Amino acid sequence: MTDQPTQPDNTPDTSARKSPLSRIVRNSAMNALGMVLIVPLNFIALFTMAQRLGAEAMGIYFSLFAISAVIHWISDAGTSTVLTRRVARTPEQLPVIVGEAMGIMLAVVSSSVLLFFIASTGWTWVMLGAIPWTLLTVAASAMVARHAIDFASNTFRGLERFEFENLVRVIQSASFCLLVWYIVQPQDNGTLAAYVAYAASNFLAAGLVWLILLVGWCCPLPKLSIQVIRQWYSESFPLGLGDVVRQLFMQIDTLLLATLSTPVAVGIYSIASRPLQPLRLVPRTIVSVTFPMMSRAAHLEREVMGEMFAKTTNLLWVASLPICIATATCAKPLVLRTAGPDYTAAIVPLQLLIWATVLMFVNAQLRFAYTALDAERKYWRLSIGSLLAKVPLCILCILYFGVYGACFSVLLGELVVSIWGLTSLKAMHMKVPHWTQLLRAIPAGLAMYATLRPFVSEQSPLWWMGLGLAVSSVAYLAACLLTGAWPREDANSFQLAFRASFGGVARRLAPTGRS
Q: How far apart are CA 485 and CA 325, in angstroms?
A: 16
Residue 65 · residue 273 · CB < 8 Å: no
Quick: pLDDT tens for 199-228: 999 999 999 999 998 888 766 777 878 888
Other CB atoms closer than 10 Å to residue 426's CB: what's the count? 12
User: Does residue 510 carry a pLDDT above 60?
Assistant: no
How does residue 491 score in pLDDT terms, banded at 50, 70 and 90?
Answer: confident
Residue 237 · residue 77 · CB < 8 Å: yes
pLDDT of residue 511: 45
User: Does residue 416 carry a pLDDT above 80?
Assistant: yes
Residue 183 · residue 193 · CB < 8 Å: yes
Mean pLDDT of the chain: 82
Residue 10 · residue 92 · CB < 8 Å: yes
Residue 452 · residue 469 · CB < 8 Å: yes
User: Does residue 477 carry a pLDDT above 80?
Assistant: yes
pLDDT of residue 11: 52
b/e sequence 68-87, b meaning 16+ C-beta within 10 Å: bbbbbbbbbbbbbbbbbbbb
Average pLDDT over residues 285-304: 71
Taken in order 90, 92, 94, 97, the sign of the CA dihedral is: negative
Which residues lie below 8 Å from residue 299, measured CB to CB, with a gap of 6+? Answer: none
How does residue 470 score in pLDDT terms, banded at 50, 70 and 90?
Answer: very high
pLDDT of residue 4: 43
b/e sequence 42-54, b meaning 16+ C-beta within 10 Å: bbbbbbbbbbbbb
Other CB atoms closer than 10 Å to residue 211's CB: what's the count? 12
pLDDT of residue 322: 92
Instruction: Give alpha helix (H) positions in 77-161.
Output: 79-89, 94-128, 133-158
User: Does residue 300 carry a pLDDT above 70?
Assistant: no
The model's pTM is: 0.66
User: Does residue 158 carry a pLDDT above 60?
Assistant: yes
